[in-house]
Structure formats: structure tokens, C-alpha cells
A and B are shown apart, each in its own frame.
Chain A
Amino acid sequence: MRNTMEVIELKKLHKTYEGIVPVQAVKGVDLLFGKGEFTAIVGPSGCGKTTLLNMIGGLDAPTEGQVLIEDQDISALSPAELVDFRLWNIGFVFQSYNLIPVLTVKENIAFIMELQGRNHKEINDRVAYLLDVLGMKDKMNIRPRYLSGGQQQRVAVARALASSPKFVLADEPTANLDSQSTENLLELMETMNRTEDITFLFSTHDQRVMDKAHRIVTLEDGKVVRDGKQEKVE
């Protein structure tokens, strides 16, 4: 029996990119992330944040070590199984929003739930609720290109949350946003973290974003050099 419920467990994770000069991007990372955590992964450029998040998200395979999601070793899954695993368990937010351009705001949020094959009522209720939280009901029928970057990223967060994932991964979600939009986005993420107890794991360079995190994991040269909790900023 564990005393805390771990959502993500990383065991001796290594990643080496083969090439003329092999690059050891991640060198032995052991980490645990519990349910409802709101964690920032920080560190200098090239320290391995993206590589780490990609391995956790099942987008990249570790060279050594394991990624366990609720005790399931995802490196044992086939590529097709991994796609399904991501569909049901992980929400993704990307740096450059990456909404589906031909779908409206509402359809973008509903998209993953439709892939999951959920019923209409369930989808409609959840989309309506998320649009409400976003404060974007008036924009639900327009396509992403008519939205500001900040608005698009909020929709992206809603899309990631719509499927009720076990956790949300966000690689530098605010890197393209101005400070006001950054603040709004973090507020949205925090709200969802608090109200739905959804685990968030995001990388950032931005000090204001780090200030909002409840836990900060610092990487340097592919290794964890600091891992500290901080008081919730109310």
C-alpha cells in the first residue's frame, strides 16, 4: 500500500539521442508526481525539459528506465496502444496552441471526447461547462484563427481537460503569450487544478509562472538538481 496515490512515477529515466555525437539529454531521473500536483519543470535551455515531458507523454521512448502511469509501464505499449493510452489518460497543451484550424472552438474542445466515443449529452455538458469556465461562450462557433494567442491557448487547455485525463502535460504553454494572457492562462489552469483535482505538469522559463507552481523541479544537464515545494500563492 502506498500512502499517496502516485499518478506518474519515473524510474532511472535516461534518454540518449544517437547521432555523430550522441547527446545525453536525460541522465537518470527518478521522480514521483502525485494526484492533483501543480508542478513546474524548470532549467536552462537544453537541460532536457522537453525530452522529459515527451517521455512522460509517451511521445518519445526512453533509452533506459521506466515511465509508470498509475503503475502501468507505458514503454511496454505498442505505438497504436500508446495513441489510445494518450487519448484516455493524458491531456496535452503545446507551446504553439495547435488547435485544429477547421474546427470551431466548441468542436475543438469536443474533439477528443468524440474520439473517445462519449455520448452526445456527456460531451455537450462538459463542453458547455468548460466554455463557461473559459468565459468564451460567445466565441464558441468561430474558428481558432480569429482568436488571440491567449484565447487559443485557453481553448487548448480546455481541449486537454475535456477528456478528463489523469494529468495534463504542457511544454512551455506561455512562451508565446504576453504577460496578461500568461496570467489568465495560469489562473485557468489553477482553477481546474483546484476544482477538478487534475494533475498539471508544465515546463517554463518564466519566473511568474514558476511563482504560481506548487512544486518546482529544476533540471540541469539532464539531471534533477532541485525539487522543492512552495507555498500556494493565494
Chain B
Amino acid sequence: MKQYLKLAWRNLWRNKRRTIITLTSVILAVLLAVCMRSMQKGTYANMIENAVRFSTGYIQIHAKGYWDEPSLNNSFENNDLLDSLIGNNKNITLAVPRMESYVLASSGDHTKGVQVIGVDPRKEDALNGLSDKLKQGSYFSADDAGILVGDELSSYLDLSVGDTMILLGQGYQGMTAAGKFPVKGIFHFPDKRMNSSLVYLPLIACQQLFIAYDRYTSLSLMLKNPTGQSRTVTELSSQLDTNNWEVMPWEAMNKTLTQEIAGDNAGGVIMLGILYVVIAFGVFGTILMMTMERRKEFSVMVAIGLKRTRLIILLTLETLFIGILGVSTGIILAMPVLVYFKLNPVRITGDAAQMFEQFGIEPIMPASLNPEIFVHQGITVLIISLVASLYPLIYVARFDILNALKR
């Protein structure tokens, strides 16, 4: 094998200029592909991370049927089994309970339908930094009975910190829910809809309001490693009785974002496809020339006793050298660029930025250093090089020694 490696390596450098040109094309393509994927994946991860923090988490657990019919009647009671399942799952970093429902909010002459979210103040803050979003007033604690309201809602209802808001609606199992709550703080989110229609309440106060003691409507989970999400979903689904529970990944709950990402990703994949075709032709051309101009040499080798299968190994090694050199150099060159853009993400402006803000996402495009990107691109380029060398390999397997020897 050492013999073949030596031969292949030296053959590669017989025509230095051609090899360098081919290598450069592979390197550039890998560089482009890796950078493009890294920016895309990084942006998606940022979008997802942000989006799930303010909404569902990566995974949400509900009582069976809640997602289709989100009512308090489909809430569930706090229980030890669930707590221990979640505590024992290594990929879960945070489990945030919530109780969500809709009520009428009024103050003075004004009334508006709003969404009430009962939260564990400490966990919610850990999840999405809710306390940082306050413009006025102060954050609440678990045993407070105060509320946080969006700035637009507060001005619509003409409320300021310390004023009282009345909430009126339907509680658990058809009971009447009504309560008066002082405004503790006024928040502002990037997402306008949240500012005009959202009221946060400490979980205990919320459970009292809806007469749904010790109940939740959802449990949102944050993950240590988001790429392991589907495995975590499977684990939880298998541990919980699916007649009573539903375990949903964010993709199933946030279809808009899923589609947004899928659409953008498709564009990226097409770009990659074009790049790969370029690589394939470059490598194919080089390997084809390297084969054809050595026909006589090959026939001599087979004549003196080198099996064709060995010749194929030799050619494959030459191709692999081009592929491996191209891929590794491309990745090495991409690294500093990507590290830079991970630390200093590109800021998005204009219309695109609005789309981000609408989801409550910081409009940045950080690079991703997820090893998956490099492994995928690397393997793809290697496979492409090998496929590009198929024709020359078939030639070597079949050529007529005497004919080639005569040349």
C-alpha cells in the first residue's frame, strides 16, 4: 500500500499546474459551500433558538389534544413522574411550565381580548430574559399577584405601573375566572403583536385566576444540543403514555418558521448543487486527462505484472488525494472566516430585518461551526470526486494492453 500511496502522490504532481488548478477549484468550491452552509445553518439556528425561547421551546409537552384544542380543559396536573423523566434526560437543560388562556382585559372604559400567560418568573426569565424586556416597573416574583403588560396594550388601556387591570374569562371546567391585578411592569418586545395582546402573570396567581390549581397547559423544554432534538422527542414519547400526553417538536408547532427555513434552505441546496457540478467537472477532466495520457504507461504496468485491480486502486488514490487535499485545505481556509463571523455576526437590515423582528428574532446572521457542516461537505466532495473518476476507472478495467502499448 505504501508503494501505491507513493506512486499516486508522485503522479499527482507530474503536471503541477493542472493539479494546482484542479485543487484550487475544489478548494474554492469547498470554501464557498462551507461558508454558505455555515451562514445558513447559523442563521437558522439563531432564528430557531430565538423563536423557541419566546414560544414553545424546542419541545413542548401537553396533555393529549391540547394542541388541536388549546383550552384549559386540556391542561394537565403537575406530577412527579413527568418531573423525574425530565430531570433524568441529559439533553434537557430547562423545563418551563406555562398556563395559557384568553381573557378580556379592561381598565376604565376600555376592553380588549388578550392572551394571558402564567409563568414561573424565575424559569421564564432564564428562558427568554423576560425581565430585560421591561421598559418600566419591575419584574415579578413567584408569589406576586401583579402582571406584566406590553407597552402598546398599556397605552391602549391607558394603564401605567401601579394601576389595576381587570381580567375576566372562563376558568377550568367552565368556572368563571375574574380578578384584579396591579401592573408591575411594562415590557416591549421586538414582535409588535406581543406588545399589544400579551399579559404575563405569575403561575400561582394565574392558576388561582382560572381555578386550575397546580395545573399547566404546557411544559416547554430547552435542549443542550438542539441537533439531538428528534432523539429526545422519541425518548420522551416512549416514556410517556401517549394516550394522555403529546410531545411535540417546535417544527410541528411553528409551521411558519419551519416553512420559512425550508424555503430558504432549498435555495441554498440549489446553489450547492451548482457548486458540486463545477467540482465534478473539474475533477473529472483532470482524472480523465491523467488517465488518457498514461495509457501506454498503464499497459506497460499491466504487461509486467500489475493487476488491473491494483491500477484501479492507484487511480482511486490519486482522486482521493485531490479530494482530501481540496476538502481539508478548503475547510482550513474557511475556519478563520467562520470563526470571525460567528463572533461578529453580519447584521441584517431592511425588509429582511423586519421579517426577523416579526418573529422576535435578533436580525443577525452568525456563522455556525457545527461540525456536521464540515463533515457533510467533506464527504459530499469526496464522493463527487470518486464518482467523477468512475469513467477513467472503467477505462482502466477494460483497456486493451496491446493497443495501448503500440502508441
Contacts and interface: CB of A to CB of B under 8 A. Distances in A.
Interface in A148-188: 159-160, 163
A31 to B, nearest CB: 21
Interface string B102-125: 000000000000000000000000
Interface string B8-34: 001100100000000000000000000
Interface in A42-70: 54, 57, 59-60
**Which range contains the number of B residues in contact with the other chain?**
20 to 34
B240 interface: no
B304 A54 contact: no
Nearest to A115: B305
Contacts of B5: none
Nearest to A143: B10
A59 B307 contact: no
Interface stretch (A5-13, A80-88, A211-219, A223-231): A80-88
A157 to B, nearest CB: 13
B301 interface: yes
Nearest to A58: B303
A196 interface: no
Contact of B303 (A59, A100, A102, A114): A59
B304 A112 contact: yes
A178 B14 CA distance: 29
B304 A87 contact: yes
A83 B7 CA distance: 20
Contacts, number: 56
Nearest to B11: A102
A94 B401 CA distance: 13
Contacts of B300: 92, 94, 98, 100
A57 B302 CA distance: 12
A115 B307 CA distance: 9
Contact of B305 (A86, A98, A100, A102): A86
A102 B7 contact: yes
A134 interface: no
B297 interface: yes
Kindly list the 8 A-B residue pairs having the minimum CB-CB distance in the complex, ordered from nearest: A87-B305, A102-B10, A98-B300, A86-B305, A83-B307, A114-B3, A92-B304, A115-B305
Given A98-B297, A114-B3, 20 more contacts: A59-B303, A59-B402, A59-B405, A60-B402, A80-B308, A83-B302, A83-B305, A83-B308, A86-B303, A88-B305, A92-B303, A94-B300, A98-B296, A100-B300, A100-B301, A102-B10, A102-B11, A102-B14, A115-B305, A116-B305
Interface of B: 3, 7, 10-11, 14, 296-297, 300-310, 401-402, 405
22 contacts: A54-B402, A59-B303, A59-B401, A59-B405, A60-B402, A80-B308, A80-B309, A83-B307, A84-B305, A84-B307, A86-B303, A86-B304, A92-B304, A94-B405, A98-B296, A98-B297, A100-B7, A100-B297, A100-B301, A103-B10, A115-B306, A116-B305
